[in-house]
Amino acid sequence: MSGRPRIVLLGFDGFPLGALRKTVTPNLWRLGQDGGFAPDGGLAGLPSTTFPGFTSLLTGMSSPASGVRTTARRAGAVPGWAGADRCAAPTLVHAARDAGLETAVVMGDYKLLKVLRFEELERSWPPATGVPDYTELDAHGYPTNAAIRREVLHAAADPDVDVLFAHFNETDTLGHDRGPGAPETIDCAHAADGIVGELMEALAPDWDRTVIGVASDHDMVRRLPFPAIDPTASHDCAGLVDDWIADGGAAWLRLTAGVDAHMAISRLAALDGVEGWRWRDPDILLLLASRGRVFAAPWVPSAGVHGASSTARTLAIVGGGHPAVAEIAASIGRRPPRLQDWAPTLARLLAVELPDADGLNMLGASELPALR
């Protein structure tokens, strides 16, 4: 048995925080009780959507730093003025591979393979050639959790794998289609927890050197029965926006050249269904919807939405038998971890470098300031 740490990072897409309870997720609950968890969850950046969230988790960079600022895609906007469609910086997995460690990734959302550049890795599933024909898919065309189970457990049972990242997508699909609190979504969370239990059994021989991190990219809320928000449809906002792209409960706006920015922000922020805004660049604005509201887009979820401040909470659990688990547990118990804090922490354990990361190292909890 090698003396170096073994890192297993689990990413649950759209996992409803309300499902994290002893009766629904007994294995995650036990992992957090034996290790540690953030009582109020971790923190996602904005927009609280999939591609920015998992890019931050794996690179240790905030979305403004990584350039991956939205999950939506449209030529000219993304890639373009609203952000990149692929991270330029190395992920934790790339850094581990480059240091000579064995790595494996298993992805429920195959589109993340390109966003995170995982198709470059030798051991990644699905393969770069595409999702195998025999794979069971969910209603949105992504591999189900049951479909990736075998690959996840196979990698976990291989003691030569030093770093494993596994992405579970199905709770996101069901949350959008049925709602985050729907019985089908809760049942999916319970079934995913069963895979976590099997994974813990597979890791048992290496438990003393294992660190398991559990995170999600965002929470989800029930969509309210109000019209989708179009920031260009109001008379008061006519001519203020040159281009825009929706990302669920958030939208990136490029202001028209020459428009007074303060006047534009005042009017756009006053739109029905808008909760607030964030300034990113001199002419680019992030508009945020109020809880349960969504911006107009070619596809709008029918039941569950995310993207704004109301869904910027994440799973944040640590477990395993490695001595560092207690230190990380103390940190996340005191200060909710941001998604970008995980990669620098795990990189430190592996003695690999993430020079572009702007997240905090959660080792040394007493040195981190408490959030106010």
pLDDT tens-digit profile of 118-135? 999 999 999 988 999 999
Residue 16 included in any domain:
yes
Q: Is the peptide bond before 126 cis (omega within 30 degrees of 0)?
A: yes
| pLDDT higher than threshold 60 for residue 188 | yes
Residue 259 included in any domain:
yes
- Average pLDDT of every residue of the chain: 95
**14: alpha, beta or left? (left if phi > 0; alpha if psi -120 to 50):** left
For residues 145 and 41, state if they share a domain: yes
- Cα(290)–Cα(303) distance, integer angstroms: 15
Residue 228 included in any domain:
no
Report how many helices (DSSP H) and strands (DSSP E) the chain contains, helices first. 11, 15
Q: Look up the domain containing 160 and give its range.
A: 6-223+307-367
Distance in angstroms between the alpha carbons of the first and the last residue of the chain: 43
The number of domains in the chain is 2
- pLDDT for position 128: 86
Residue 15 included in any domain:
yes
- Cα(63)–Cα(261) distance, integer angstroms: 23
How does residue 114 score in pLDDT terms, banded at 50, 70 and 90?
very high
String of b and e for 118-150 (b: at least 16 CB within 10 Å)? beebebbbbeeeebeeeeeebeeebbbbebbbe
- pLDDT for position 366: 46
For residues 293 and 312, state if they share a domain: no
Going by their DSSP bridges, the two strands 36-37 and 316-319 should be labelled as antiparallel
**80: alpha, beta or left? (left if phi > 0; alpha if psi -120 to 50):** left
Handedness of CA 176, 179, 183, 188 (dihedral sign): positive
Q: What are the start-end ranges of the H helices in the chain?
A: 26-34, 50-59, 63-66, 92-98, 112-115, 145-156, 170-178, 183-203, 261-269, 324-334, 342-350
**Phi then psi dihedrals of residue 87, to 5 deg:** -75, 140
For residues 172 and 282, state if they share a domain: no
For residues 154 and 249, state if they share a domain: no
Residue 372 included in any domain:
no
Of 278, 300, 322, the one marking the end of a domain is 300
Give pTM, 2 decimals: 0.96
pLDDT tens-digit profile of 301-349? 999 999 999 999 999 999 999 999 999 999 999 999 999 999 999 999 9
How does residue 367 score in pLDDT terms, banded at 50, 70 and 90?
low
Side-chain-facing half-sphere of 341: CA atoms under 13 Å:
24
The predicted model gives 189-205 an average pLDDT of 98
List the CATH number of the domain containing 254. 3.30.1360.40
